Each structure stands twice: as structure tokens, then as C-alpha cells.
Amino acid sequence: MKYIIGLDIGGTKIAAAIADESGKTLTTINTPTQAKKGGDEVSAQIVSIIGELLKSTRVNQKDLKNIVLGVPGQIAKSKGLIIIAPNIKGWENYPLQAKIQKHYPNVPIIIENDANCAAMGELYFGSEKEFKNIVFLTISTGVGGGIVVDKKLYSGANTMAGEIGHMPLNLTNDNDYKCGCGRFGCFEAYASGVNMAKRATKRITELGAAKDEYGKITLELAESNKSKISSIVLSQAAKQNDKFAIDIIKENAYYIGIGCVNIINVLDPEAIIIGGGVSNIGDLLFDEIRKTVKEHTSMVSEVKTEIIPATLGSDAGLLGTIAIGLSE
Ligand SMILES: [Zn+2]
């Protein structure tokens, strides 16, 4: 029997697991990331967590199939390099694979971007259906993505595939749609939770005193502080039938839907699975996304791509590292 070790390394915590070849988890470890102490300290943490997992399960390192590290940033996979991980100090052009390999010279070490891991997690462990080709979107602070083709991650020529958040939706130079990447009009600049909240704040300010009931519940839930309007506040307000919140969410769903139309036209996946905080809004959001997709896909007579919510929540990343270990 061979075993897989997976670590989901976040800016605040590391979740780790060891699983057997059937995908069954033997044990897990959760611990805060020493992100502020610097990249080498986090590397040392990773080494010690791997050691603990082996020790507690009495698995010998020669019985490891591989070790998969999910990281919160941009990577150069073939070089085993982290190009940048903004939440971990010192992980810039950082040779993570080599650092860990030194301690486990005979075990394949794989590094992968966290959204890609989540995509594989949802495919292998999340969805009830047996999909082979999916696109995963995580919509929260930003918009991340992962593309799975024939049950394997599609990485592209430069391991940059899946950066769906930076697909332009609009050729604009409007500062309201300036993206974190520095460009304008990216999918993320329209559809992320942060941008939905920004749009709501701006619109409610424009409405001023003339709004009457429109947006009243949203403002109440934000404690009359417009800057406290978030995707969570909007979601709660919409559940209380606040028309303003419903309009903002439907508008966001429209943008997500247009993003999905582009994905479907390029990849025609069996499903687009959507996770992240914004996906928790639920049916109001998903119904509108599906409606938009139906109205705007012109190249196929009947869209078969299912648009479905993710099911694993914050476990998707960790389970994804195991899925990648199994699929390699
Ligand atoms: Zn961008």
C-alpha cells in the first residue's frame, strides 16, 4: 500500500492529511501558519508536519507515493518555484519544492496553486456526479479558478491556466473596474465579493435620502455604516426581501453568468462548480447565473453545462491535494 501526504498551506493556517491509495484519510493536522516569521520558517513547519503525519500513522517514508503542497499564490510548477504568495512573507521566487525535497529525497514533491487544488477536491470528493471535465470558480475576495480535463488539472504551457479571474469582461478604463492585477475590466473586478460590496456602497450613496424603503434593510444590517456593506450583509438583506440587495446580487450573478458563458464557449465543460463566500448566497445567485448563461450562449443550441454550488467549503483545498496525489 502506498500513501499520499497533502498540505493545504494558507496565509493563516495549514491543514494537512495523510491518505491511502483509496483516498481514505488516516489522520489530519491543523496548525496556524507562521507566515509573518518568513518563508523558511513555514518550510520548516511543512517538514515537521510531514514528519508528524508519518510518525503518528507509522507509515515509512519509502511507502509515500508523493507529497502534494497546495500554496496560496502563483507558481512555476515545473521549476517547483513559488513566484509570489502575497500572504507569506519571503515566498517570492522561492524554491519550495527543493527545500522540502532535501528532507525527503526519494519522494516526488508536487506544488500546486490552491484554487487548482480546490478544483480537484470538488471533482474527486465533492460532487455526487462522476464528472471528468469541469471548471471550478472560487468567488470571494477575488475570483480564482481551476480547469480539470479528463480528471487531471490542465496547467497550460506555463502553468498559468485557470487564471479565470483576470479574463477581461469589458474593455474599459473605468477606475470602478480596476482589478488587483493592475488591469481594468477583469472578471474579478466585476464579480468578486469585494467588488459587489463596493458597487453596493457606491449605489446606496448615490441614492441618498430619496431611497425610502429601497436599501433600508441593507443599511440597517450594515449598522448604518455604508462601508460595512459586504456580500454577507447583502445576502442577509436579500433573504429579508430587500429589493436593493436583490438587485445588486442579481447584477453580480449576471457578471458571473457572462464569465461562465465565456468559459462554456471555450471549454464546453460538463459542469462549472462555484465555491467561495459569494456562492453561499445560494439559489437567488445560481438561478440568475443559469438564466444569464441560457440567454447568452449562442454557439450551442442547448447548453448542457451544469452550474452548481461547491460542496466542500474550506476542506476543498486539502482534499484536492490528496486528489492530485491520487491522479498523478
Ligand atoms: Zn485582473
Which DSSP string corresponds to 175-205?
GGGB-TTS-BSBHHHHHSHHHHHHHHHHHHH
Has residue 298 got a pLDDT over 80? Answer: no
Q: How far is the CA of 180 from the centre of ligand 1 (A)?
A: 6
- Backbone Cα Rg of the chain: 21
What is the model's pLDDT at position 211? 59
- Quote the pLDDT of residue 213: 84
pLDDT at 69: 98
Cell of 213: 424603503
For the chain, what is the mean pLDDT?
94
Cα of 140 from ligand 1 centre, angstroms: 14
Question: Rounded to the nearest whole angstrom, what is the distance from the C-alpha of residue 172 to the centroid of ligand 1?
Answer: 12
C-alpha of residue 210 to centroid of ligand 1, in Å: 35
Class of the 129-310 domain? alpha beta
pLDDT bin (cut points 50, 70, 90) of residue 299 is low
Between the CA of 209 and the centroid of ligand 1 the distance, in Å, is: 34
The rounded Å distance from CA 101 to ligand 1 centre is 33
Confidence tier at 78 by pLDDT (50, 70, 90) = confident
Cα separation, 193 vs 143, whole angstroms = 9
Mean pLDDT, to the nearest integer, of 42-65? 97
- What DSSP assignment string belongs to 50-65? HHHHHHHHT--GGGEE
pLDDT at position 319 over 70:
yes
Q: Are 175 and 152 in contact (CB under 8 A)?
A: no
Model pLDDT, residue 35: 85
Other CB atoms within 10 A of residue 183 CB: 14
CA of 123 to the centre of ligand 1 (A): 26
Q: State the distance from the centre of ligand 1 to the C-alpha of 81, rounded, in angstroms.
A: 22
Q: How far is the CA of 174 from the centre of ligand 1 (A)?
A: 13
CA of 256 to the centre of ligand 1 (A): 15
- Average pLDDT on 22-36 reads 94
Measure 170 CA to ligand 1 centroid, in angstroms: 11
d(CA 287, CA 305): 14
Give me the mean pLDDT over the 241-263 stretch.
97
Question: What's the average model confidence in pLDDT over 40-50?
Answer: 97
261/120 Cα distance (integer angstroms)? 22
Interval 138-150 mean pLDDT? 94
How far, in Å, from the CA of 279 to the mean position of ligand 1? 20
Ligand 1 centroid – CA 194 distance (Å): 13
Distance 166 CA to ligand 1 centre (A): 4
pLDDT reported for residue 87: 87
pLDDT, one tens digit per residue, over 194-213 is: 999 999 999 999 887 655 68
Query: What's the gap in Å between 167 CA and the centre of ligand 1?
Result: 7
| Residues paired with 51 in a beta bridge | none
- CATH number assigned to the domain covering 3-125+315-327: 3.30.420.40
Start-end of CATH 3.30.420.40 domains in the chain: 3-125+315-327, 129-310
pLDDT at 301: 66
Indicate the pLDDT class of residue 303, thresholds 50, 70 and 90: confident
For residues 75 and 110, the answer to whether their CB atoms sit within 8 Å is: no
Tell how far the Cα of 168 is from the centroid of ligand 1, in angstroms: 8
Edge-to-edge strands, sheet with 25-32: 25-32, 13-20, 3-9, 64-71, 109-113
Q: C-alpha angle with apex 206: 203 to 210, nearest 5 degrees?
A: 110
CA of 300 from ligand 1 middle (Å) equals 28
Q: What pLDDT does 208 receive?
A: 76
Q: Cα(304) to centroid of ligand 1, in Å?
A: 28
Q: How far is the CA of 186 from the centre of ligand 1 (A)?
A: 5
Residue 106 pLDDT > 60: yes
Distance 175 CA to ligand 1 centre (A): 13
Kindly give, in sequence order, each residue whose CB lies less than 8 Å from that of residue 92, ignoring residues fewer than 6 positions away: 82, 83, 84, 85
pLDDT value for 302: 75
Ligand 1 centre distance from Cα of residue 162 (Å) = 13
